[in-house]
Amino acid sequence: MLLQSLTTLNYRNLTPDTLHFPAGVSAVWGPNGAGKTNLLEATYLALTGLSEVSRLEQLVLQGESEAYVRAELLQGGSLSVLEVGLGRGRRTLKVDGVRVRGHELPRGSAVWIRPEDSDLVYGAPGGRRAYLDELLSRLSARYAQQLPRYERAVAQRNAALKAGEDWAMPIWEETLVKLGSEIIEVRRRAVGRLAELAYEANAALGSAKALRLELSESTTPETFRADFARRAAEERARGSTVIGPHRDDLTLTLGDFPAGDYASRGEARTIALSLRKAELDLLRERFGDMPLLLIDDFSAELDPSRRAFLLTLAASVPQAIVTGTEEAPGAALSLRAEAGSFFPAPPSQTPLPQVRA
Question: Which positions make up the binding site for ATP?
Answer: 30-37
60 secondary structure, DSSP code: B
Map the footprint of ligand ATP across residues 2-21, applying CB under 6 A.
12-13
Apex CA 81: angle with CA 140 and CA 20, to 5°? 115
Distance CA 106, CA 33 (A): 30
Distance CA 19, CA 16 (A): 10
Q: Which stretch binds ligand ATP (CB under 6 A): 59-67, 160-168, 170-178, 273-281?
A: 59-67
Cβ 266 to ligand ATP, closest distance in Å?
Answer: 20
Strands 66-75 and 24-29: unpaired
Residue 279 interacts with ligand ATP (CB under 6 A)? no
Residue 349 interacts with ligand ATP (CB under 6 A)? no
Residue 58 interacts with ligand ATP (CB under 6 A)? yes
Distance CA 323, CA 296 (A): 5
Residue 7 sits at φ, ψ, to 5 deg, of -115, 135
Cβ 343 to ligand ATP, closest distance in Å?
Answer: 14
Q: Which CB, 13 or 316, lies closer to ligand ATP?
A: 13
* List 8, 26, 36, 243, residue binding ligand ATP (CB under 6 A): 36
Q: Which CB, 183 or 337, lies closer to ligand ATP?
A: 337
Residue 18 sits at φ, ψ, to 5 deg, of -120, 125
Map the footprint of ligand ATP across residues 317-346, applying CB under 6 A.
325, 337
Residue 35 interacts with ligand ATP (CB under 6 A)? yes
Of the candidates 15, 9, 4, the one whose C-alpha atom is nearest the C-alpha of residue 339 is 15
Cβ 17 to ligand ATP, closest distance in Å?
Answer: 14
Residue 297 interacts with ligand ATP (CB under 6 A)? yes
Rg (CA), the chain: 22
* List 32, 78, 349, 354, residue binding ligand ATP (CB under 6 A): 32
Chain-centroid distance, C-alpha 297: 16
* List 46, 47, 50, 61, residue binding ligand ATP (CB under 6 A): 61
Do 64 and 10 form a contact (C-beta atoms < 8 A)? yes
Residue 62 interacts with ligand ATP (CB under 6 A)? yes
Q: Which CB, 4 or 325, lies closer to ligand ATP?
A: 325
Q: Which CB, 35 or 347, lies closer to ligand ATP?
A: 35
Q: Which CB, 305 or 325, lies closer to ligand ATP?
A: 325
Question: Is 163 strand, coil or helix?
Answer: coil
Q: Which CB, 62 or 354, lies closer to ligand ATP?
A: 62
Q: Which stretch binds ligand ATP (CB under 6 A): 29-37, 77-85, 265-273, 279-287?
A: 29-37
11 secondary structure, DSSP code: B
Residue 76 interacts with ligand ATP (CB under 6 A)? no
Residue type at 354 in one-letter notation? Q
Question: Which residue ranges make up the annotated binding site?
Answer: 30-37
Q: Which stretch binds ligand ATP (CB under 6 A): 57-65, 119-127, 252-260, 273-281?
A: 57-65
Distance CA 172, CA 162 (A): 14
Q: What own/partner pairs with CB < 8 Å and gap ≥ 24 does 90-93 have?
A: 90/56, 91/49, 91/51, 91/56, 93/49
Distance CA 170, CA 173 (A): 5
Q: Contact residues for ligand ATP (CB under 6 A)? A: 12-13, 32-38, 58, 60-62, 297, 325, 337
